[in-house]
Chains A and B, each alone.
Chain A
């Protein structure tokens, strides 16, 4: 195998400037209601 396979380059740093619209779903409101995390929420601005 290649020694390094980048699965994703990530885009968090860019989202400092591009994010923050607040239109995304509320984390706990969807399927879970008990063990909340934010990573499952899609970004509304990128739909």
Chain B
């Protein structure tokens, strides 16, 4: 499949099945658009009429160049091998990543939180060490030959259960070497409780820390408030700056959420950069159609313009001390994930599971609390085979709405939880989320072309 677009004065051609990307002039852009529908002679005649200033020999050369790219597998590449692979590909049943909900409670009460003050529509709770230890045992014993395992401490606010976080890291470290595993711990925090000893531990043990900041003070404080209504910006920003300063180049993300109330969100990204942070992520709030905060279809033109502006800002800062990376624009177009990964997507419910404070398993953090997707528990493992089989059988080729989508091998089918919340089925899609994904991808490719 071919995807062609014009952006910032550039003509981009994406050959989705090979992963090849070309920047072309207007003549080639038009020729590629009509190439498959026309005979060679017919297309040459059409192009000669459309581009009278171009010599006939030049048009012939263009046609030959396009044919050459096709022969080289860089244009109009077939995806039949991938379809065949998707038909036989099955998740192995090995688990390689857990999202540990060590705290179903939070010391902030952010209005847009999908977890509703960390409670996920349930009771407040902290995970015990025993439950967490069993979760790690479950992961270690069900990860087959996979060496690299991921454990994310999530919430609510995981620092509210700090002693258990530390104890679980120690337990994982005590077992990984003997099993030839490598536990990559990560933690997502709002930063309110961060202090010296925590920073030292996080910077030593965590592969990545995800630090929640929405951007400008007025934007952050409007929604990220304490239960008493106080803003949290002034508390967390100096802590984040100190943690990152000490991190020694290890991975981190300043990660925020934008809503319908700050659709000028590039200002928030630039504010993060102005604070000295370089690894940035800002995500749209998610929610059902009509949600107060989640951007909707009507917001897309403004959002698209923002993503274009972001690409331009990033380009202008490249090579300066104000340069930064934006998560969604950080893609490896030359190599990146293999086609196996792209066919099967995120792996929720199969190789990736979320664990509640009580040890119950869900496909991912966004499914927590949905009874139909209660997968089992850390003692008995996955027992809801109907849900597991449904999720294990997903590929980009059996989501009907992905049939004609050029971006499917870049998104891997998208987020099953969002799809279910919006469309009612994990095989559906979230059209607004898809539109934003595709726009970000176009901008990321443009950044490479500029």
Q: Are A16 and B21 in contact (CB under 8 A)?
A: no
Measured CB to CB, the nearest residue on chain A to B343 is A38
Name the interface residues of B44-96: CB closer than 8 Å to any CB of A. Answer: 62, 65, 69, 72-74, 77, 81-82, 85, 92, 94, 96
CB B396 to nearest CB in A, in angstroms, measures 10
Query: How far apart sit A35 and B335, CA to CA, in the bound complex (Å)?
Result: 22
Main secondary structure of the interface of B (DSSP, over half): mixed
Q: Which of B142-150, B195-203, B236-244 contacts A (4 or more CB under 8 A)?
A: B142-150
Query: How far apart sit A4 and B340, CA to CA, in the bound complex (Å)?
Result: 30
A interface list, Cβ under 8 A from B: 1, 3-13, 15-16, 18-20, 22-46
Query: How far apart sit A12 and B406, CA to CA, in the bound complex (Å)?
Result: 14
Q: Are B17 and A4 in contact (CB under 8 A)?
A: no
List 29 A-B residue pairs with CB atoms under 8 Å apart, sorted by A's residue number: A6-B74, A8-B20, A9-B74, A10-B74, A11-B334, A12-B17, A12-B18, A12-B82, A12-B409, A13-B17, A13-B18, A22-B94, A24-B341, A25-B184, A26-B97, A28-B348, A28-B415, A30-B253, A31-B208, A31-B281, A33-B210, A33-B365, A34-B283, A35-B284, A35-B328, A35-B418, A36-B411, A37-B328, A43-B335
Measured CB to CB, the nearest residue on chain A to B334 is A8
**B255 at the A/B interface (Cβ < 8 Å)?**
yes
**B414 at the A/B interface (Cβ < 8 Å)?**
yes
8 Å CB contact of B338 from A8, A30, A37, A43? A43
Query: How far apart sit A21 and B441, CA to CA, in the bound complex (Å)?
Result: 25
Assuming the contacts A13-B81, A43-B338, asked whether A27 and B345 have C-beta atoms less than 8 A apart, the reply is: yes
CB A43 to nearest CB in B, in angstroms, measures 6
Q: Are B188 and A33 in contact (CB under 8 A)?
A: yes
Contacts of A31 in B (CB 8 A): 208, 210, 253, 255, 279, 281, 327
Q: Are A7 and B330 in contact (CB under 8 A)?
A: no
